[in-house]
Amino acid sequence: MIAERPTFDVLVIGSGPAGQNAALEAAEQGARVLIIEQEPQVGGACVQYGTIPSKTLRETALTLAAFQRRSGDVYQISHDAELSVTSLMKRLNEVVHAYQETTRHCLERAGVERAYGRARFLSAHDIEITRVCGEQTTVSGNTVIIATGSRPRNPPNIRVDHENILDSDSILSMSYLPRSIAIFGGGVIACEYASTFSSLGVQVTMLDRASRPLGFVDAELVEYFLQQLRANGGEFIGNCELAAVKWDGLSSVRTILADGRAFDSDKAFVALGRVANIDSLGLVKAGLQASDRGLLTVNEFCQTAIPHIYAVGDTIGPPALASASMDQGRRAVIHALSGVRSQTSLSLPTGIYTIPEIATVGMTEQEAREKFDAPRIARVSFERIARAHITANPSGMLKMVTCPDGQRILGIQVVGDGATELVHIGQMAMIANLPVDTFIQTTFNFPTMAEAYRLAALEIVHTREAISCGQQSRRRSHNLDTPAVLSSNL
């Protein structure tokens, strides 16, 4: 044990998106910051098992499908029956290295210090760091941010063997691309892998207790996802309960539902939620304990029951998306260092990397209708966009949600190729509080997918003017038909 016990303004446990943003925000405010990570490199689980590997595989699937489509089917893409998953991700090391280098550079430039090892609370302020070699040191923090991420939640009635029945930590370790796979769950992870594997020619069957996947997303956008899944030969079965999932010991996994239906597949993938990585933190020493769901309970500022200890990202549960986690890290540090009550931004985007992509910012149509009597909605199919036809991908839509007078944007919903990039235009317009007419008065490059914003704005303005003309017409008609008004004008 090293005797010296340095004290930091902010200790951040975990270097994933939430931890990174918390550390950078704290450093920006002049705090002395230490980020503790148990992996040799920064980035958290998203580097090894999550965001980067899955998106790299997805990009390969997109490229293969797009090549055939954009060639007008002149070139045909066929897959080897024994195609390995790793062969589809040969660029992974390059992608991971680039991400880690960028993250490391940002932290170093901000003056954030780093420690490699496993963290454990000795008290509410003191944390012991144990390195792989067994060496230990203790540090203290005036503020502590817990951002340790999560791991797959595997139900007790399903035995995940990581070879035939897999979870999100082992799904990409398959030695070959299976002919068929059963996917349990209807959340983000389940849908992203379902669309990727189906695009690669795998027979996908999604099974979930909910009536539809991605229940928090606009139903119109989800239907585009389901259409593409079905077009690739996939299937979604909702309102079902799993009774048994077993490897037959020879060639397939048998899934039996509570109603007696059975499905056989080469592999099964369990995507039924996540559990916070907090078991080894020694929370009791800090005066904390996990909830019944294995999460940390926080208030609107991500503050735990111990005022100077905050928890962000997957450790506090849904939505458990990178953008939300980053925002939580930022808000937690702002509150800890300045006491400012920074609320969740209404312009915080959500990006789901299914095929097609789904992205949202601001209010959904349903939320707007609950708050306003008659919000104005414009829908622009990508079939109307020249760039979408050029790239041979006209399936998709941009939905613009505005206030009743059609002047202010309340939300943007996008589904289709490039949705997660396209949504940022609407996000910036909302942050700057730009009027809808800005998209008509501003010239974009042509042809681009951004043209959808102009077409949506034109629809909003058209309905706005049509209603205004109708009201004026009714007023004129009322004036002509009312003798009292006529006599007063004579």
**Which pLDDT value is given to residue 147?**
97
DSSP one-letter code for 281: G
What is the rounded distance in angstroms from the CA atom of residue 326 to the CA atom of residue 313?
A: 7
Closest CA to 202 of 168, 156, 171: 171
Mean pLDDT by 10 residues, the chain (490 residues): 75 95 97 94 72 86 78 66 69 84 94 96 97 93 96 91 94 89 97 94 96 95 96 96 94 96 97 93 96 92 97 93 93 92 77 96 94 95 96 94 96 96 97 96 94 97 74 52 35
What is the rounded distance in angstroms from the CA atom of residue 477 to the CA atom of residue 469?
A: 12
The answer to whether residues 169 and 193 touch, using CB atoms and an 8 Å cutoff, is no
Domain locations in the chain as residue ranges: 7-151+275-338, 165-272, 356-476
**Which pLDDT value is given to residue 483?**
40
Helix 451-481 × helix 419-431 angle, to 10°:
50
Using only C-alpha atoms, the chain has a radius of gyration, in whole angstroms, of 26
**Which pLDDT value is given to residue 90?**
75
What is the rounded distance in angstroms from the CA atom of residue 141 to the CA atom of residue 125?
A: 5
The answer to whether residues 332 and 301 touch, using CB atoms and an 8 Å cutoff, is yes
The answer to whether residues 431 and 382 touch, using CB atoms and an 8 Å cutoff, is no
Q: What share of the chain is helix, strand, coil (3-state, %, to 5)?
A: 40, 25, 40
**Which pLDDT value is given to residue 343?**
62
The answer to whether residues 347 and 361 touch, using CB atoms and an 8 Å cutoff, is yes
CATH 3.30.390.30 fits 356-476, yes or no: yes
What is the rounded distance in angstroms from the CA atom of residue 371 to the CA atom of residue 88?
A: 46
Amino acid at 124: A
Closest CA to 337 of 9, 8, 6, 7: 9
66: left (phi over 0), alpha (psi -120 to 50) or beta: alpha
Instruction: Give the CATH number of domain 165-272; options: 3.10.450.50, 3.90.1150.10, 1.10.1760.20, 3.50.50.60.
Output: 3.50.50.60
DSSP one-letter code for 279: G
What is the rounded distance in angstroms from the CA atom of residue 368 to the CA atom of residue 403?
A: 8
Q: Report cis status (omega within 30 of 0) of the bond before 435.
A: no
Phi, psi of 11 (to 5 degrees): -110, 130
3-state secondary structure of 80: coil
What CATH code is assigned to 7-151+275-338? 3.50.50.60
Phi, psi of 286 (to 5 degrees): -90, -5
- The count of other CB atoms within 10 Å of the CB of residue 108 is 11
DSSP one-letter code for 60: H
- The count of other CB atoms within 10 Å of the CB of residue 209 is 14
CA distances from 175 to 84, 252, 267 (A): 5, 15, 12
Structure tokens that stand for 264 in this block: 């056989």
Identical fold at 165-272 and 356-476?
Answer: no
Closest CA to 38 of 130, 146, 167, 138: 130
3-state secondary structure of 23: helix
**Which pLDDT value is given to residue 486?**
28
Structure tokens that stand for 471 in this block: 């009201």
Closest CA to 83 of 16, 157, 178: 178
